Amino acid sequence: MSKNYWIFANKREGEYGDEDWDTKTILKTKHYYFRDDEKNRAKVKEGDTAIFREYGSGYWGICKVGKWVLDPKGPSKYKGSKTGWFEMSNIKKWDSPLPQSIIWSELSNQNHRLRIAKATHEDKDKIELALKIYKNLGYGSVEGEFFILENGLEEAIKKNLSQLGLKLASDSINQQCTLDMGIGRTDLICTDKDGNYVVIELKLSASDGVIGQILRYMGYIREKWAEKEGKDVKGIIIAQTFDDQLRYAAKEANVTVLRVRIG
């Protein structure tokens, strides 16, 4: 059984040019590299469990921590600094990373600057549960529901648009774009299997006022883009809660409403 749990943070491949600190090198060498005087480094013991976090991305795997080894070349490579690595075993790299924003507020340690952050068994369970939910999102229709965690809604939906039969619109169309002066700023612009445009508006709580907003976006896209291409425009509102006013208005406007159920 693991003695303690930690979150190890590292850089993305190529971010700073050195190869000791990024995800690719960590997996290749099975070494997790740190400064010897890194905060909490001396508290990590052989047999502990480490959850991997990549700066700017999210949680990407887990391993069993091995012994600490000083790098004899460290002082010459890093201006006199002592450096080294933890050996790693039982490495599990997840198929896709879990965005940090989805689970961050639920963890016991929210210091995002630490390279070695103390964690708990409960933190590990929460991250693994969130990853499972994130990978297995299901979507419903007007009266239906789908699962997602409270934070990171936009990123989770973007990652799982295929379950709605959608994909992000072409690269020539910027996401979250201001359509024109006075028109407003969209959340997501997608296309379906037939190439029709689908505007997605994300809300925590929604009433019928959002219908005017999404219809305005749809009307602009229809006039400026869709009609010239012979395509249709549809709308989807995704909200955690909504009232009957929205439900009635959405049916008349032929706009789909999806409910988010916090899981």
* pLDDT per residue as tens, the chain (263 positions): 558 999 999 988 766 666 788 899 999 999 999 999 999 999 999 999 999 999 877 899 999 999 999 999 999 988 889 999 999 999 999 987 887 877 887 899 988 889 999 999 999 999 988 887 766 653 333 334 444 443 456 666 777 777 778 888 876 565 555 565 557 778 889 999 999 999 999 887 788 999 999 999 999 999 988 999 999 999 999 887 788 899 899 999 999 988 765 44
What pTM value is reported for the model? 0.55
Question: How far does Cα 58 stand from its chain's mean position?
Answer: 7
What secondary structure letter does DSSP report for 12? P
d(CA 5, CA 111): 15
Please name the CATH architecture into which domain 145-262 falls.
Answer: 3-Layer(aba) Sandwich (3.40)
d(CA 217, CA 206): 17
Name the residue with tokens 């400026």: 224
CATH fold of the domain at 5-120: ph1033 like fold (3.10.590)
CA angle at residue 135 from 256 to 166, to 5 degrees? 35
Beta strand 145-148 with 256-262 is parallel
Which sequence spans correspond to the domains of the chain? 5-120, 145-262
Cβ neighbours, 10 Å, residue 36: 14
Q: How far is CA 10 from CA 58, 61, 117, in A?
A: 10, 12, 12
- pLDDT on residue 141: 35
Q: Which residues contact 200 (CB under 8 A, 6 or more apart)?
A: 157, 187, 188, 189, 190, 235, 236, 237, 238
CB contact at 8 A, 34 and 10: no
